A = this chain, B = another copy of it.
Amino acid sequence: MNIRFYNARILTMDGGYDIIKGELWVSGNKIIYIGDGTDTDRIYESQPENIIKWDREIDAKNNLLMPGFKDAHTHTAMTFLRSYADDMPLSDWLNTQVFPKEALLTPEDIYILTKHGIMEYLTSGITAGFDMYMQMDAGAKAASECGFRYVLCGAINDFGGTVEDCERDYNKFNNMNELISYVYGFHAEYTTKMEIMEGLAALGKKYKAPIYMHNSETKSEVEGCIERWGKTPTKLFNDLGIYDYGGGGFHCVWMSEEDIDIFKQRKLYAVTNPASNTKLASGIAPIQTYMDKDINLAIGTDGAASNNCLDMFREMFLMTGLAKLREMDASAVSAEKVLKAATSGGALSMGLFDADVLKEGKLADIIMIDMHQPNMQPENNIVKNIVYSGSKQNVKMTMINGNILYEDMKFNIGVEPEDVYKQANDIIQRMIRG
């Protein structure tokens, strides 16, 4: 497909926050032109017969094209537990509600529930997810069919998976198709025995690959780790060589100064999950400190069970808002840096080095923000409008890999929304009936 956007404003996020007025052209799964439209000869010249046959020419009507948001930590298929068991602390919630229900999930369930989650991502302009879940074949199939960019994160722990499985998955999913990839990971220190962590560290070394896990989500998690190993999770992982080739941690709420120094030194990603940490009362991550120390940042929703929605606008407001409360400083955590974490930061954290910014040659993972809405006006500062005032209502289009999967509130993912909703309800009802 060749798609031409004209009358657009383009926030490329490529090295700054300037906005270009003009055109953006997509051919196949790549961006082939961004500019004011006066220098397109060079693009035509690269084409057979100097012609581009447009499949669609879209008048952007002065709306904003920008890189899609990246959900850098999520459990996509957990949509079935939305509003099912709320208002409980993390450990009770996991042990009495989440784990017993998850044990009943079939691969077919996960396939449907992943499609459900993907639909929700699209409504929020999320073009890729860094998904930690079971039954990875089911999730990868759902994402491939929908056309969603999907990075699987290893989820091995004491209750499922072996190190050998991880190596097999790494090679399988990284060679599956252009939408799917795989990054090594394990659930968390408190759910994973030393042997597995050491095995993963060895795999990371073998493939020179980054490794991720839940890290310092709650105070009690960190305290437990110190009790068990005499050190924080970050220090433990670092000492084990898990962070030798990068990676990072999900949540990163309760980090010591030494932990943060390790993140800095290893160029690790702190993936913050502000809505989930709020709703589970886990705490507020020290985002301003991370920014002061130039720690790499990305943002995740953590899935619909804990959050309870998959909405990057909520996460962005909370990332800066909670930091302002934590620091008691209204100037903490700038909107610009939040938007960077939500887009290019997320992409880089999950290894999507060509989906970070809008630029000729980069992947066409693009969203259109409807500026003709009251919450986007006046245009005193468009970046701040998006971060402080934006809402799903502003997502006019979500394009992934050159395909428009969501436009004017309609999905184009090869499945009827009502069928997905019906099946999602059936899954949880079947479990409740027992």
Contacts and interface: CB of A to CB of B under 8 A. Distances in A.
Interface of A: 79-84, 86-90, 93, 116-117, 119-120, 123, 275, 278-281, 283-284, 304, 307-311, 313-314, 317-318, 320-322, 324-325, 327-332, 334-335, 372-375, 377-382, 384-385, 388-393, 395, 409, 417-418, 420-421, 424-425, 427-429
Given A82-B380, A374-B123, A379-B425, A330 B391 contact: no
A169 B358 CA distance: 54
A49 to B, nearest CB: 40
Contacts of A374: 79, 116-117, 119-120, 123, 310, 417, 420-421
Nearest to A373: B123
Contact of A327 (B86, B281, B320): B281
Contacts of A417: 372, 374
Contacts of A279: 320-321, 324, 330, 388
A304 B389 contact: yes
B377 A116 contact: yes
Given A310-B375, A391-B392, A88 B330 contact: yes
A432 B90 CA distance: 49
Contact of A334 (B87, B278, B310, B334): B87
Number of this chain's copies in the complex = 2
A61 to B, nearest CB: 10
A57 to B, nearest CB: 22
A89 B325 CA distance: 11
Given A384-B308, A425-B379, A389 B330 contact: no
B384 A409 contact: no
A17 to B, nearest CB: 13
A66 B88 CA distance: 27
A149 to B, nearest CB: 18
A369 to B, nearest CB: 13
A69 to B, nearest CB: 14
A393 B90 contact: no
Question: Which of A93, A377, A382, A384 lies at the interface centre, i.e. has the most chain B CB atoms within 10 A of its CB?
Answer: A377
B385 A83 contact: yes
B330 A281 contact: yes
B388 A424 contact: no
A145 B92 CA distance: 53
A420 B372 CA distance: 11
B424 A378 contact: yes
